[in-house]
Amino acid sequence: MAEATCARIAALTGQPVTDLTPLHGGDLSPVLCATLADGTRVVAKTGPLVGVEARMLHSMHAAGCTVPRLIGCDADLLVMDHILEVPASGTGWAALGQNLRRLHARTGDGYGWGDDYAFGPAPIPGGMMTDWPAFWGERRLLAFADALPADIAHRVEGLCARLPDILPHRPPAALLHGDLWTGNVIFTDGGAYLIDPACCHGDPEVDLAMLHLFGTPPAAFHDAYGPLAPGWQDRRPAYALWPALVHLRLFGASYRGLVTGCLSALGA
* Residue 115 a catalytic site member: no
C-alpha to C-alpha distance for 204 and 228, rounded to whole angstroms = 9
Q: Is 41 left (phi over 0), alpha (psi -120 to 50) or beta?
A: beta
C-alpha to C-alpha distance for 129 and 139, rounded to whole angstroms = 9
Contact in structure between 114 and 128 (CB atoms under 8 Å):
yes
Looking at 165, 179, 196, 203, which residue is catalytic?
Answer: 179
Q: How many CB atoms lie within 10 A of CB 111?
A: 25
Q: Tell me whether residue 14 is exposed, middle or buried, using C-beta atoms within 10 angstroms of its C-beta: 0 to 12, 13 to 18, 19 or more.
A: exposed
Contact in structure between 15 and 76 (CB atoms under 8 Å):
no
Residues designated catalytic:
179
